[in-house]
Structure 1
């Protein structure tokens, strides 16, 4: 019963969590990692084994991944990056025909969250407000600019004065001109949610962002916020959601008004805090997808006020010859 973590990169903690949980039920099971450059991936180095795959944008990616998954006796695939979600969700049935489950939401759902405008429409459909989008010829400063299909804060800009706007900002059709939600007036939360195979919400862990580095949370603390009940009630069932879903919201400090920012239907970079607080998503995934358990109970007993302070660590590879 081997598990594959794709595009493993630096996700050392996620690999270790799955190894720990898999050993509990399948002592001989392996957690295998894949990457375009596995020899330079710290997560691949701590996995039980690893293999190289082409970049997801290259032709034949799915065929190569399927061939290697069969060769390594993979029964379960856990994707980790935005760019692979669409093609993997489109291929759920192909992998299932080969005895391999992919923990991913439906294609139509994934497609929404690759487009920030559609994501805003999704939030609106559940009664959650979003930052206002301006026409590029009619806007109010300050602004927050971000690409419609971006990730990891690439090409994001805070514009406080008109002189900061350039031809690039106006000519780039992908850049959205959005109302700026000032951190002095809002608190930013990332929420790790677990949806079972029936698309029912089973766990909801908000973590307050304290510091972000390279688009990924570096310091955060779990909080049992006022909005848990409100969002849970609205989103207790969402057809097509499965596995780990990551929400990002801003909450106004005075009014407690919630603004939906982003949704990523995958494990987020800050998930280790939720796991260490008690949100054992890897265990539930193994129970559902490998053991065939039909009922995952609602879990609310996670630890509040648990703070995560991340730091750089080393993975040493001996006799590296490249």
Structure 2
């Protein structure tokens, strides 16, 4: 056991509760641990909230990789958890940083490079899910005019969203006959790579699903990729800015088949946040996957589950029972606003320049 058991949370942003819950996990396990928070903005909500705060260059900065490795060599964490989609792409796909961290003895939860790409590309994600037998809505490129015309003859409403967006980027629910106009509108703000101009193919269109939308956390073994450890579910009651704002915990039974198939195919370690619609026939369809702690995890944590405790125990070789995965169905929780001082005038003036 290291002298100061350490976990690093990258790009924690507004998720101060996650820092608290990892601290609580150390305390519950009797470990004198520390939570290091890394941010590129020293005035963000979480930047100064960790036991140790470190400013790193933005993930797009060429200096980011060396700075991250230097931090790891200094702090010697056993676990690195990022909650930023784009930082995860940089770690797992655009560079070999995730592997370099693992070679240093750091657990870096996530999915395979192929599935990480799929999580960032909604068209590719639909193909990956189809291949493993997980139900998902038909997903068309916004530029597929013949496909959109055929779809309009079968459904009344469609969902339009950015192909490479995060959260609810570009989301619009429109009559099927208005899909082309909605695609044209979404193209204006569509994120792309390589500095090119966005096109209609950077937008996807899907039929609107019926049923109830759920958020499901799929938790994989930290040491055995693809081995399923837990499935945690809640029904979404209200959304705000692309994130679940109010939810009620529910039994995870209807989602376990999909969870097992995804965990195995993706080589999952740690937690991913999956959005599913539960139809009247009892079958669940996957509409999105976020390969990280998502905004819906707090609802199952407050109902009794404790994934941070599982992660800390697994990372540092502490034996715990299976109670960490248990939660009470029927618990309704809602988010609320909070605010804290993150810097004084000297630092703030530097950031503003």
TM-score range relative to shorter protein: 0.7 to 0.9
- List 4+ stretches of structure 1 deviating above 6 A: none
From the superposition, tell whether residues 299 and 291 of structure 1 become closer, same or farther in structure 2 (CA, over 3 Å): closer
SS in 1 for 2:328: coil
- CA shift, 1:166, in A, is 6.3
How many angstroms apart in 1 are the aligned matches of 2:204 and 2:184? 14
Q: How big is each residue's C-alpha offset from its partner over 1:42-84, in whole Å with a ceiling of 9 and x where there is no partner? A: 2233211211112112223221111123233433211111111
From the superposition, tell whether residues 174 and 296 of structure 1 become closer, same or farther in structure 2 (CA, over 3 Å): farther
- CA shift, 1:299, in A, is 6.4
Which runs of 5 or more structure 1 residues have no equivalent in the other structure?
A: none
CA contact (8 A) 2:270 2:311 kept: yes
- CA shift, 1:239, in A, is 5.4
CA contact (8 A) 2:136 2:285 kept: yes
CA-based RMSD of the aligned residues comes to 2.5
Q: Identify the match of residue 13 of structure 1 among 9, 14, 17.
A: 17
From the superposition, tell whether residues 226 and 107 of structure 1 become closer, same or farther in structure 2 (CA, over 3 Å): closer
From the superposition, tell whether residues 143 and 48 of structure 1 become closer, same or farther in structure 2 (CA, over 3 Å): same
Q: Is residue 227 of structure 2 the alignment partner of residue 218 of structure 1?
A: no
Which runs of 5 or more structure 2 residues have no equivalent in the other structure?
A: 188-198, 349-353
How many angstroms apart in 2 are the aligned matches of 1:290 and 1:320? 40
Q: Identify the match of residue 219 of structure 2 among 167, 179, 194.
A: 194
Give TM-score, length-normalised by structure 1. 0.88
Q: Which has the higher helix share?
A: 2
Look up the match of 2:335: 310
From the superposition, tell whether residues 296 and 137 of structure 1 become closer, same or farther in structure 2 (CA, over 3 Å): farther
How many angstroms apart in 1 are the aligned matches of 2:121 and 2:318? 33
From the superposition, tell whether residues 147 and 239 of structure 1 become closer, same or farther in structure 2 (CA, over 3 Å): closer
SS in 2 for 1:78: strand
Q: Identify the match of residue 259 of structure 1 among 267, 281, 285.
A: 285
- CA shift, 1:106, in A, is 2.8
Q: Identify the match of residue 33 of structure 1 among 30, 37, 48.
A: 37
CA contact (8 A) 1:202 1:297 kept: no
CA contact (8 A) 1:32 1:44 kept: no
Look up the match of 1:154: 169
- CA shift, 1:138, in A, is 3.9
How many angstroms apart in 1 are the aligned matches of 2:317 and 2:67? 27
From the superposition, tell whether residues 194 and 169 of structure 1 become closer, same or farther in structure 2 (CA, over 3 Å): closer
SS in 2 for 1:66: helix
How many angstroms apart in 2 are the aligned matches of 1:233 and 1:243? 13
CA contact (8 A) 1:105 1:242 kept: yes
Q: Identify the match of residue 289 of structure 1 among 315, 322, 327.
A: 315
How many angstroms apart in 2 are the aligned matches of 1:233 and 1:102? 20
Q: Identify the match of residue 126 of structure 1 among 120, 129, 132.
A: 132
SS in 2 for 1:96: helix
From the superposition, tell whether residues 313 and 233 of structure 1 become closer, same or farther in structure 2 (CA, over 3 Å): closer
- CA shift, 1:164, in A, is 4.5
SS in 1 for 2:232: strand
- CA shift, 1:315, in A, is 1.9
Q: Is residue 271 of structure 2 the alignment partner of residue 244 of structure 1?
A: yes
